[in-house]
Structure 1
Amino acid sequence: MTVDYPTNKIWSTLVTKRAYFGGALVLNHTLKKVGSRYQLKIMVTREAEADKDFMAAFAAAGIPTILIEGIEPTRKTKVNKAFWQKLAPWAMTEYERIVLLDSDQVILQNIDDLMTLDLPEGYIACAHACTCNPRKISHYPEDWIPKNCPFTSANQHTGSPAPIHPTSPPTHHLLNSGTVVLTPSKPQFDALIDAIETHPDVPHMVFPDQDILAIVYRGRWKPLPYVYNALKPMRDCHSALWRDEDVKVLHYILNKPWESRGFDGDDEVESTHRLWWEAWDEVEREWIGSEAGEEKRWLFERVVRPAVAPE
């Protein structure tokens, strides 16, 4: 069935290699399942485009791709260039609105309201970064502790995010780039590229794409409620805020559900992987069912299945 999608507003995600294809398929499937009026278009690099079977699998899934050019600073850094390539939507001025999503997310409720969210000129919208560091990861900043986390300061009853003021703690100015609402703009894109080239922190950034966004958009980003980018560890470390029934976008940061089907179903955090696998089972039936066709089933075995852990 052909869907008449609006052409001026899109969802977009970046996929640079086959390993994330299962995630992208689930993202696309769940956007459709919740009845989104808008289309997901996947950004691919020239390296990915050269993989003909990979591109054939995108076509078989009915997901259009957008070829993006490489983005990386001319100076040497240890930053994986895929982080910078996530910034490509800012240059796509043929669109009025792009909502950038990570491919390790499941959409649980319709989020089309993000396409019409009021966004002041020169602003983006996204959720805060959770700075609790519940796993005590050693290379995370020292001030990443629960009392400094913006979600600790959020309204625990309504889920409303902590407002950002010039005097807010440094951690309250940090964002997570899993869901970003943006208006493509060449001046804004140029400002991001300039920051990549010149900012002294770039070579040492822990979370490069979202750190550069936090720098360029300091004081100019609208905080979204956590439900639009619910980081899975928050189900435990922010249990007073988290409500399963309110979550719209579940974000599988850290270990990915498609890496293993053997998750701990009794664990507060890992049990969320069940939702991804339920969506995956629906995707799989679409690819191998009687109506799929021989080529699609062949692509599933060659491209899709190897990207997802076996039973």
Structure 2
Amino acid sequence: MKEALRAYPVTRFAEQDFLNDFFKGHWNMLPLSFNWGKPNFWLCPELCRSEAVKVVHFSGAVKPWLRKPDGQWSDSVLARAIPEERKLLEDGNSGLTWAHEKWWSSFLFQTEAKVVCDATLSLRGDPRPACYSTLISGDSDYYKGVLALAGSLRRHGCRLPLLVAHTSDVPAAHCRAMREAGCELRLVDSEAFSSLRGTPKQPEFLVCYNKLSMWLWEDYKLVIYLDADVVVNRNIDHLEKLELPLDYIAAAPDLGFATNGTGNRNGERYFNAGVMIFRPDRRSHRRLMDALMTYGKITAYAEQDFLNDYFADRLVELPTEYNFIQDYWVGPSLPPSPMREESLRSLGEGLPAVVHYAGAKPWRCRLAERLLQGLSFGSEDERQRTVIALDRIQAEWEGALRAGTKTMSRAEDALRPEWGKECGGGIAGGPRKIRAEVGELQCAGARVPAA
């Protein structure tokens, strides 16, 4: 081989050209899946996420480690890519983006070293103080919730960035709308949870295990997680000052259906995972994942049950107003709870800092019609006060959606196709009528109920 190499000219692809000539007629072809080069991502896109792909080859000038810690690519790096590759790099849902996420997941699991990324920025060297985060998956209408969440943060002057963890099946149009609302998107790998067995209370709870991926976001010191069906009603940036030990979690107690539905809590503390605060750390993530694989089962409330067990003795309890679930206003639908009653009384006339629209969604129906259907109240006054409260938080959500979209017409266009899906046709006039009703009630001096 050395003698042949001495006589061989230097060619464009160097040793690859030489080895092809030297072993011509004397080599066996491996399946393409054992050396999946980057061109295959645009030539065979339908196969890119197939389990048959064993080895991905990041050939060419654009390498995964050149990506910035925020998940974006600098113009100087994109300039090195050929047009087909650049198009896939700019598409947050492409197979090539999925492959890069795989590379980063492998790196973060396997090394302690600092990664010097583009512009010599170290991934672990200088993390930013804090961020808000949320999660979305699939071709669902939850992106409307993300738009409203982003709008509510902007509306109340919150300065921390909102990062959206999303799976690869979120449509490009939804991703585009969220970016336009000021969100930073980060792709997560949901395959890590495919070995779990069991059935949650609702199928959409399965995607919630992807929240665990956020423990890998070491470019932030603190993550303030908010479900996509949440809006804030005041500035909550002060939560970034929470002095939280590593491997602890901060969350508000669940006072409703989840606590009563678990059956095995026996009065123990049980938090709702729709709002959580934690410190990202790769080793913490490894311990979380190891514990989850040992746990090995999917229970009624999925990741919420697991996280409650995992952090049972490492929980910093937040006041209920930081995760106030809409059902708390609907007294007859829940068993009496001294903590819930006290939470309602302590709010007075103001809305809680964070409202969680668990269950019925404000972009699908009128909450008062859906949540109060079939319930009986002690008096008509009690029922009317509950209607006022639910219509008020519906109006707050719509205001947040308007803030999260460029124009009011665009917000109503987003709502209209889904309006009434859960309420047998909804109400005449849709969002505009609710705003008018709430305005009239507020002008008449109506108060938010203290159940």
Counterparts of 2:275 and 2:227, CA distance in 1: 7
Among all aligned residue pairs of Structure 1 and Structure 2, give the percentage whose two residues are the same amino acid: 23
Q: Is 1:309 paired with 2:419?
A: yes
Q: Does 1:56 align with 2:152?
A: no
Q: How many Å separate the matches in 1 of 2:416 and 2:158? A: 29
- When residues 94 and 306 of structure 1 are mapped into structure 2, their CA distance, relative to the original with a 3 A threshold, is farther
Q: In the TM superposition, what whole-angstrom CA distance separates every residue of 1:144-165 from its partner, at most 9, and x where no partner exists?
A: xxxxxxxxxxxxxxxxxxxxxx
**334, 344, 366: which is aligned to 1:261?**
366
- Residue 390 of structure 2 aligns with which residue? 272
Letter of the structure 2 residue corresponding to residue 212 of structure 1: F
Report what 1:180 is aligned to. Answer: 276
Aligned residue for 2:352? 247
Which residue, 220, 224, 227 being the options, matches 2:321? 227
Q: TM-score, normalised by structure 2?
A: 0.53
Could you tell me which residue of structure 2 aligns to residue 114 of structure 1? 239
CA offset at residue 240 of structure 1? 3.4
Conserved in 2, the CA contact under 8 Å of 1:230 and 1:247?
Answer: yes
Q: Distance in 2 between matches of 1:222 and 1:63?
A: 28
Q: Give the structure 2 partner of residue 9 of structure 1.
A: 130
Question: Residue 47 of structure 1: CA displacement?
Answer: 0.9
Query: Kindly tell me: are residues 12 and 111 of structure 1, through their superposed partners in 2, closer, same or farther at Cα, counting changes over 3 Å?
Result: same
> What is the 5 A alignment of 1:1-311?
7-17=128-138, 18-48=140-170, 51-70=171-190, 71-79=192-200, 80=203, 81-131=206-256, 140-142=261-263, 170-199=266-295, 202-203=297-298, 205-235=299-329, 236=331, 237=336, 238-242=340-344, 243=347, 244-245=349-350, 247-261=352-366, 263-264=368-369, 266=384, 268=386, 271-281=389-399, 283-284=401-402, 287=405, 289=407, 301=413, 304-305=414-415, 308-309=418-419, 311=430
Q: Deviations over 1:235-288 (max 9, x none)?
A: 335333312526111111121222113634836278335323344246347746
Q: CA RMSD in A?
A: 3.0
In structure 2, distance between residues paired with 1:263 and 1:131: 18
| Preserved CA contact (<8 Å) 1:14 1:103 | yes
Gaps of 5+ in 1: 1-5, 144-168
Q: If the length of structure 1 is used for normalisation, what is the TM-score?
A: 0.74
Distance 2:148 2:405 in 1: 12
Segment drifting more, 12-21 vs 222-231: 12-21
Give 1:259's aligned amino acid: R
Write the distance in 2 (CA, Å) between the matches of 1:282 and 1:76: 38
**Partners of 2:151 and 2:181 within 8 A in 1:** no
Q: 1:32 to 1:266 in 2, by over 3 A?
A: same
Moved more, 271-280 or 250-259: 271-280
Q: Would you tell me which structure has more helix in proportion to its own residues?
A: 2
Q: Distance in 2 between matches of 1:184 and 1:307?
A: 38
Q: Cα offset for 1:129? A: 1.8
> Which residue identity lines up with residue 35 of structure 1 in the other structure?
G
Is the alpha carbon distance of 1:73 and 1:284 closer, same or farther for their aligned partners in structure 2, counting shifts above 3 Å?
same
Matched residue SS, 1:259: coil
